[in-house]
């Protein structure tokens, strides 16, 4: 319906027209009141709006637009009258696959490394930093009970959380019940596999029935979502024991949450980075056997770098996000944070695959084979990123990155230089901003964002308001450039199984989050002050196993992941 603008309409006429269009009279009344409070749309208002949109409009063009813009505003108000849960995804679905791409289809089974005979230590707390295969063998052989491990990790969480600030909620009652059931099942010969009885922690954007799911933000501190997220349910089915819901920076950014800041176990004077702040800190400090984090633009890779943990950001569409907070539907990914690469493989094998709830997830087998010869892999490296002037970056990190290349070559792997596509990758961040603004539209339009911690230019209240200024046209144009980036990345990885990149700096982190490629991050050295640095291995879409195999070979050869933060060892 075209009309001449609210400034020229009688309220009764407006209400009648809206009612004729099927809009409830109460909603129409509210639309009128809100629009009237803002004042009418005029050519002068459109002139200012045109500046934001970066378009040129003549006076005649602006005059012709008034009625149409008023109509759009009315439609927007109608849409806002419909309650939309954060979990409700748009009717547009992102796939990282380009036309003609194929994915693995054969289920070849899983081949994990052989575990040598292990013996229970005198002091059970010596197992706090043990990798999953070792813990699993002790549980399988009944040398250690799950209830013992669970109580040990719960005790460490209580003792060390005051220093780290990594726990939102201890799930003690649930954990002890699960541990007892795990022990009973193992005793009865019903061993479920390598995660059976292993205590773990969930980033607190994953819903767990009966417990708060706070999203790290004060407006949601009392929120209870009455269902288990798919990854929680699948880990339950694998026999794992959830001991705690761990911190995330508010609304999945940074390491500041409504309870304070989560700290780095290697130097508690600094933050753990984020937004998977609690999972990375808890794993690195030996407070859980493993954790589940999430990434949209570095929320697994960044805290793992700061805390010296090993993390996997799986291919977009490999792990269901059902029951997880949505920040950007076309970019969000869930993945394991562990002590070693093969731990990540064990967890991914348990949680990957479609669930009928997250429509982006494909039925692609995870073909992990720890016995495969790494020398058969075809590997690239980002030459310009590794060749940067050391004075332009962290000099110690530069030395570690160069040493990483040499260590990989010593494995018998030939490294091929590659370069990222020449596209305005930073500009594509408006995709994230627009989707986040939609995900938290109601929070932003109301007063709820006043309760968020950061109220500066980079805090969510400001970011969400800025995200609202991204037009639908520009959002779609950005996604067209994103498609070009996907095509260029397909060319870059053609003939390669993986490539290496410094974890932070440059466009690799944002680019590969937009294209959906998997990434493995792990420590590659320590600075003189004792804090870790990291390197990242990027894989082909749905070929996570190849990047992980290369990362495991490097990790086994170097052993940086075996170091422990002194205060927690």
DSSP letters along 319-337, please?
A: B--TTB--S-TTT-EEEEE
Name the band, by pLDDT with cuts 50, 70 and 90, for residue 29. low
* Per-residue pLDDT, 4: 41
Q: What is the DSSP string of 183-231?
A: HHHHHTT----TTTT-EEEEETTB--TTSB--TT-GGGTT-B-SS--HH
Structure tokens that stand for 4 in this block: 């001449």
Q: What is the mean pLDDT of residues 339-347?
A: 98
**Distance of CA 155 to CAs 107, 128, 170, Å?**
40, 11, 11
**Distance of CA 18 to CAs 5, 37, 41, 78, 333, Å?**
13, 18, 18, 10, 41
pLDDT tens-digit series, residues 400-439: 999 999 999 999 999 999 999 999 999 999 999 999 999 9
DSSP character for 388?
Answer: S
Q: What is the mean pLDDT of residues 48-52?
A: 85
Is it the case that residue 485 has pLDDT exceeding 90? yes
* Per-residue pLDDT, 31: 56
Task: List the domains of the chain with CATH numbers.
Answer: 6-80 (no CATH), 128-423+474-562 (3.90.1300.10)
CB atoms near residue 530 (< 10 Å)? 12
The dihedral built from the CA positions of residue 176, 181, 184 and 189, taken in this order, carries a sign that is: negative
Q: How far apart are CA 424 and CA 452, in angstroms?
A: 31
Residue 445 belongs to what H/E stretch?
helix 441-445
Residues 302, 371, 348: CA angle, nearest 5 degrees: 40
Q: Determine the 3-state secondary structure of 420 from DSSP.
A: coil
Count, residues in the chain: 569
pLDDT tens-digit series, residues 101-147: 999 888 878 999 999 889 999 999 999 999 999 999 999 999 999 99
Q: What is the mean pLDDT of residues 269-288?
A: 98
| Residues labelled as active-site residues | 203, 275, 299
Phi-psi region of 370 (alpha: psi -120 to 50; beta: other; left: phi over 0): alpha
* Per-residue pLDDT, 1: 33
Q: How far apart are CA 90 and CA 73, in angstroms?
A: 20
* Per-residue pLDDT, 2: 36
Q: Quick one: CA torsion of 86, 92, 492, 309, rounded to 10 degrees?
A: 10
Q: What is the mean pLDDT of residues 307-332?
A: 98
Has this prediction a pTM greater than 0.95? no
CA-based nearest residue to 313, from 114, 100, 501:
501
pLDDT tens-digit series, residues 191-241: 999 999 999 999 999 999 999 999 999 999 999 999 999 999 999 999 999
Main-chain phi, psi angles of 392, to 5 degrees: -90, -10
Is it the case that residue 512 has pLDDT exceeding 60? yes
* Weakest mean pLDDT among 14-28, 263-277, 353-367: 14-28
Close Cβ partners of 12 (under 8 Å, ≥ 6 residues apart): none
Q: How far apart are CA 134 and CA 197, in angstroms?
A: 12
Q: How far apart are CA 247 and CA 433, in angstroms?
A: 22
Q: How far apart are CA 318 and CA 335, in angstroms?
A: 10
* Per-residue pLDDT, 40: 81
479-509: string of b/e by CB count within 10 Å (b at 16+)? Answer: bebbeebbebbbebbeebbbbbbbbbebbbb
């Amino acid at each position: 319906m075209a009309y001449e603008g609210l400034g020229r309409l009688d309220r009764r006429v407006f209400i009648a027209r809206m009612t004729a269009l099927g809009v409830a009279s109460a909603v129409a009344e509210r639309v009128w009141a809100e629009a009237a409070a803002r004042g009418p749309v005029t050519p002068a208002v459109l002139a200012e709006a045109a500046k934001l949109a970066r378009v040129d409009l003549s006076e005649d063009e602006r005059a012709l637009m008034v009625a149409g813009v008023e109509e759009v505003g009315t439609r927007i108000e109608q849409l806002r009258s419909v309650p939309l849960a954060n979990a409700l995804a748009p009717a547009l679905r992102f796939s990282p696959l380009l036309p003609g791409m194929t994915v693995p289809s054969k289920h070849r089974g899983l081949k994990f490394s052989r575990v040598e005979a292990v013996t229970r230590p005198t002091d059970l707390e010596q197992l706090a930093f043990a990798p999953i295969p070792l813990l699993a063998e002790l549980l399988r052989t009944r040398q250690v009970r799950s209830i013992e491990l669970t109580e040990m990790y719960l005790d460490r969480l209580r003792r060390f959380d005051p220093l780290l600030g990594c726990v939102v909620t201890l799930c003690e009652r649930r954990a002890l019940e699960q541990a007892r059931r795990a022990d009973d099942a193992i005793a009865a010969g019903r061993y479920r596999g390598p995660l059976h009885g292993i205590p773990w922690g969930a980033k607190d954007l994953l819903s767990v029935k009966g417990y708060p799911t706070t999203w790290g933000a004060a407006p949601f501190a009392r929120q209870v979502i009455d269902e288990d997220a798919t990854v929680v349910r699948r880990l339950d089915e694998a026999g794992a024991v959830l001991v705690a819901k761990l911190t995330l920076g508010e609304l999945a950014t940074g390491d500041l949450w409504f309870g304070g800041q989560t700290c780095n176990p290697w130097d508690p004077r600094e933050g753990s980075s984020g937004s998977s702040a609690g999972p990375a800190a808890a794993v690195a400090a030996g407070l859980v056997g493993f954790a589940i984090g999430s990434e949209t633009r570095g929320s697994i890779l960044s805290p793992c770098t700061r805390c010296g943990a090993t993390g996997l950001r799986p291919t977009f569409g490999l792990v269901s996000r059902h029951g997880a907070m949505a920040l950007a539907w076309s970019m969000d990914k869930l993945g394991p944070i562990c002590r070693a690469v093969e731990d990540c493989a064990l967890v991914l094998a348990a949680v990957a695959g479609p669930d009928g709830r997250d429509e982006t997830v494909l039925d692609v087998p995870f073909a992990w084979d720890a016995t495969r010869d790494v020398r058969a892999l075809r590997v690239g490296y980002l030459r310009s990123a590794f060749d940067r002037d050391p004075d332009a970056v962290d000099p110690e990190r530069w030395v570690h990155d160069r040493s990483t290349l040499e260590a990989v070559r010593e494995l018998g792997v030939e490294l091929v230089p590659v370069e990222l596509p020449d596209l305005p990758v930073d500009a594509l961040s408006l995709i994230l901003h627009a989707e986040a603004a939609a995900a938290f539209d109601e929070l932003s339009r109301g007063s709820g964002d006043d309760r968020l911690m950061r109220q500066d230019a980079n805090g969510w209240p400001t970011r969400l308001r800025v995200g609202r200024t991204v037009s639908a046209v520009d959002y779609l144009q950005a996604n067209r450039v994103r498609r070009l980036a996907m095509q260029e990345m397909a060319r870059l990885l053609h003939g390669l199984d993986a490539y290496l990149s410094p974890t932070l700096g440059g466009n690799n982190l944002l680019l590969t989050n937009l294209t959906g490629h998997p990434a493995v991050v792990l420590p590659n050295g320590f600075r003189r002050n004792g804090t870790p640095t990291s390197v990242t291995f990027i894989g082909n879409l749905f070929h996570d196993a190849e990047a992980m195999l290369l990362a495991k070979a490097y990790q086994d050869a170097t052993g940086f992941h075996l170091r422990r933060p002194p205060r927690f060892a």
